[in-house]
Amino acid sequence: MSFFLPKLCCKKDIDEVIKGVAEKVLVLRFGRDEDAVCLQLDEILSKTAHDLSNMASIYLVDVDKAPIYTRYFDISYIPSTVSPDHTKFVGSFKTKQDFIDLIEVIYCGAMRGKLIVQSPIDPRNIPKYDLLYHGI
């Protein structure tokens, strides 16, 4: 499904998109095209792209082709979906509606000048990760 969404291949392309998208939520999916979880997320993103076209612009970024932005947005786990204000969702969305609800809340909050909004996603639908720290 990832072939339905535009891909950003280099830093220059990502810079242009970040500068060019002003009145919408910019969604950047960081991942790899061959990863199964990324493909699941790409399917959800591609199914919602048309419905959200007035509120969001969605792009795919390969973590291996844009290492500077992978570090800049601190992409440790893939897939990660971020917006330029560093709002980050790690993992895939459980349902298409979860993604739609999240974009609507972020968009409406931004239009009202809010810097923080409450996530509409049920906490049971948010992926949980155990973070391990290995010291020196």
Do residues 38 and 80 make contact, with C-beta atoms less than 8 angstroms apart? no
Taking the C-alpha atoms of residue 59 and residue 28, their distance in angstroms, rounded to an integer, is 5
Tell whether domain 2-125 is in CATH 1.20.1250.20: no
Position with higher pLDDT, 101 vs 78 = 101
> Residues 86, 59: contact at Cβ < 8 Å?
no
Q: Where are the domains of the chain?
A: 2-125
Rounded mean pLDDT, 96-100: 92
Q: Is residue 72 predicted with pLDDT exceeding 80?
A: yes
Give the model's pLDDT for residue 8: 93
- CA-to-CA distance for 49 and 128, rounded, in angstroms? 26
pLDDT in the model for residue 1: 47
